Structure 1
């Protein structure tokens, strides 16, 4: 069964081999990078507990006794990660806390598992009151963990807004406003999370201060950020932090110039300025971190997801070029890269794969329905609408299944996309200006719908020529 809900409809209508192969390769990558599977494969129980990640290094720990492990699973992949962990360590878990976005299915957490699992449905990408309740519950359990032999965090993308504990001087409403302004400002995720960490009581490793230093802490992590930086994933919940209050203040000053009169921004700057003057404790730095028994292990990332796609196309005889997962660039820069790929003459059966997270600025524009992946497709359409694509297709997709505020994961361009655009005489620029990329791609039958995938490995960009 395909994770792409409208796959059959897409294939039937567009009748394009490069497109159908791309969708099948995506299915393959989703199957073999399923978070439940990745967690299960990372755990080996012998005479001790052995854990491994994407670098294949084996970490060894004392095997905890029955009912002596506390598990905190937070993020867009939290349900599947927790199920994978329970399947391997069920009898050794005393309590687990599952923090999941509102609207995500919790069908795999059955009634038997609910006996010792607390489920909190929180909010993403803008936090809500449930986000603060989730943080308070986790902190309470950590502070009462003296009888616990092992604490395990299962962390995936989305954690930053799902678990929120505002620093003294700002409140939840302030954080919501600041988050929304940063998300629409063009700031990248690393910059956004630097601000989040310094306006939080738990991010940037601060949550570790709530745990007895002698208690072993393990974090199994799915990376959704360019570069796989531990201090950026989930705002560095269990990591030491490179950034400073000065960095956070600089980011606010760089991106929030037009909204500088906002009361929330004013309060944030007061807090950050206090931090710069060392009146507020910094995030956890490497020296303090090294005094604790914390092990962070990345078990999945965008690179591995892209290589699964590459593996699939190689089996089918395609020439493949995986260009890396470091495309954390602006929309304008991405369009230049993508246009260059499309306008290059390629041999038949060629597949080019990129990964990353393109940043887009929405300031001053009407908020419609869409997301960065669908907007990228629309901007490319504007450029190549007169190209003769033959059997060539382009896909931009978010692996979490939700692109922006739309119901779609992303979109694509295939020959019939351009045919429809011309026959319907649609003005692409109108939809871009109104931020309605999803509306345009719906009219062009060129959107990809998966619903929530229960995974999150950032975005993937495919350029495939069959003939």
Structure 2
């Protein structure tokens, strides 16, 4: 079964052969990406010596050793360090999105923050992390684990901006059609934690910081040797920030949200002086990058070829409206099966990135869903003419949008199945209720926490025209 918990249900209907190919590739890909295993490969403890890849630290010279972190893959990352350090760990505080039964720690407190919108528990946990940092001195060591989602989970707005202000700001920006880099330009500049502000606080106490990150940013290159410190780490609570106040101001104007965002947020972003800017470098910190967004596509391609199926990575930069991406992939499938462009069937087409859903009026929302579910519902509505074609889209960390499912998988029979069950996929797309629609036809993908977070993984399988299905 692997990471996909409802594997048997998903291959019990539709084009089972096509579904099985895709799900087997995804299971193996998620296993390769699991941060718990990857961190255990590079971190070891020998008496008082902490060995991380090719570097060593003498822990006997440290008074306190703290573990802090946040993110959708933080569970697995923190578990590895908590187990390795054992009683040498003074204390840990982490903020996760989903707490699994297997998330058992030795000296680490776990809080469940809010995502995609911040919540009060994440806010309280962030305050506790700041208190821990403020109590530290130059003899202390912080080990920080951060993955995607930390901007929401590690929520602690600056003085003068409330948690509710931050929540409203996040909600409006996520539905504005803005890309995640643009959204973060705003979120980082109203936070006491994000955009490197947490690392700056640690730096001011003179303590040492070793950071471990998983990057879900579109445009970052694939990981290389994860045993070697990563020099270009950036854009998390523990790394330097590439965005500026000017970027945040541009986003507000570009998406015309100045009259919709809380006044406290707009006033601050438009008038803050340069002394409030987020930090741009931390030359003394050591960072390790465990995974990046393109990694999932690279692993999926390798696994596909090991299974004897031709595979191409179409893009690791996929962005834009999810439902439009679904239509695009349906057109790709038609071209491949009919004319063999850009690759002959049978084949796998892989893409990674982060598509979004624009919702300008919350009154349109009639249910639940997420970008990956909208992509696969849209694909299903356009693919009936390509026998055997099947598409999976998941958020690699295991939760898509406002739901607790990873995403969806649909094929050329899904539209007919929906009609037979009285499900209108077009209406579901208009009302942003694809979770309910895909659940009804048995096409949601359930993984739970996967141990990684490298944004969206999209896999399309196209059989040869006339192939026995």
Q: Normalization by structure 2: what TM-score? A: 0.87
Q: 1:12: Cα distance to partner?
A: 2.0
Matches within 5 A, 1:78-93: 78-93=74-89
Counterpart residue number, 2:16: 16
CA separation of 1:273/1:366 partners in 2, compared to 1, >3 Å: closer, same or farther? same
The C-alpha deviation readout for 1:147-182, integer Å capped at 9, x for no partner, is: 644211000111111112212221111111111111
The answer to whether structure 1 residue 285 and structure 2 residue 286 are counterparts is no
Partner of 2:300: 309
Q: 1:234 to 1:409 in 2, by over 3 A?
A: farther
Residue deviations 1:166-207, cap 9 Å, x none? 122211111111111111111111111110111112221122
Residue 224 of structure 2 aligns with which residue? none
Q: Which residue is 1:362 aligned to?
A: 359
1:221 to 213, 220, 231: 213
Mapped to 1, the partners of 2:245 and 2:18 lie a distance apart of 48
Assess, with a 3 A threshold, how the Cα gap between structure 1 residues 175 and 256 changes in structure 2: closer, same or farther.
Answer: farther
Most deviating of 187-196 and 365-374: 365-374
Which of residues 108, 114, 119 is equivalent to 1:123? 114
Taking the TM superposition and a 5 Å limit, the aligned residue runs for 1:173-184 are 173-184=164-175
How far did 1:429 drift?
1.9
Specify whether residues 130 and 167 from structure 1 end up closer, same or farther in structure 2 by C-alpha distance, changes over 3 A only: same
Structure 1 residues 330 and 12: CA distance shift in structure 2, 3 A: closer
- Aligned residue pairs, count: 445
The equivalent residue for 2:181 is 190
Kept in 2: contact 1:182–1:256 (CA 8 A): no
- 1:95 pairs with 2:91: yes
CA-CA distance at 1:3 after TM superposition: 2.0
User: Distance between the aligned counterparts of 2:442 and 2:383, measured in 1?
Assistant: 17
For residues 108 and 126 of structure 1, what CA distance do their matches in structure 2 show? 23
1:322 aligns with 2:322: no
Equivalent residue, structure 1, for 2:40 = 40
Q: Displacement, 1:38?
A: 1.6
Find the counterpart in structure 2 of residue 55 from structure 1: none
SS at the partner of 2:352? strand
Match of 2:427 among 426, 430, 433: 430
Residue-by-residue CA offset, 1:233-269 (whole Å, 9 max, x unaligned): 9952112222211211221222243xx444x532111
Shift of 1:48: 5.7
The alpha carbon displacement at 1:49 in A equals 4.3
Match of residue 255 from structure 2: 255
Q: CA RMSD in A?
A: 2.6
2:416 alignment partner, SS class: helix
| Partners of 1:233 and 1:357 in 2: CA distance | 20
- Describe the superposition over 1:10-54 as per-residue Cα deviations: whole angstroms up to 9, x where unpaired: 2122352121011111111122211211211232456964435xx
SS of 2:364's equivalent in the other structure is coil
Indicate how the Cα distance of structure 1 residues 2 and 235 shifts in structure 2: closer, same or farther if over 3 A, else same.
Answer: same
1:207–1:353 Cα change, 3 Å: same
- Choose 28-37 or 449-458, whichever is displaced more: 449-458
Structure 1 runs of 4+ off > 6 angstroms? 229-234
Matched residue SS, 1:62: strand
Larger CA deviation: 180-189 vs 344-353: 344-353
CA–CA separation in structure 1 for the residues paired with 2:356 and 2:198: 29
Q: Partner of 2:40: helix, strand, or coil?
A: helix
Change (3 A) 1:336 1:440: closer
Task: Please name the residue that 1:382 is paired with.
Answer: 381
Mapped to 1, the partners of 2:135 and 2:423 lie a distance apart of 60
Moved more, 18-27 or 66-75: 66-75
Q: Contact 1:123–1:161 (CA<8 Å) still a contact in 2? A: yes
Unaligned ranges ≥5, structure 2? 222-229
What residue in structure 2 maps to residue 409 of structure 1?
A: 406
Q: How does 1:26-37 map to 2 (within 5 A)?
A: 26-37=26-37
Alignment match, 2:225: none
1:207, 1:237 within 8 Å by CA — same for their partners in 2? yes
Per the alignment, residue 192 of structure 2 pairs with 201
Counterpart selection for 1:392 from 389, 392, 401 = 389
Q: Given the two structures, how large is their TM-score scaled by the length of structure 1?
A: 0.87
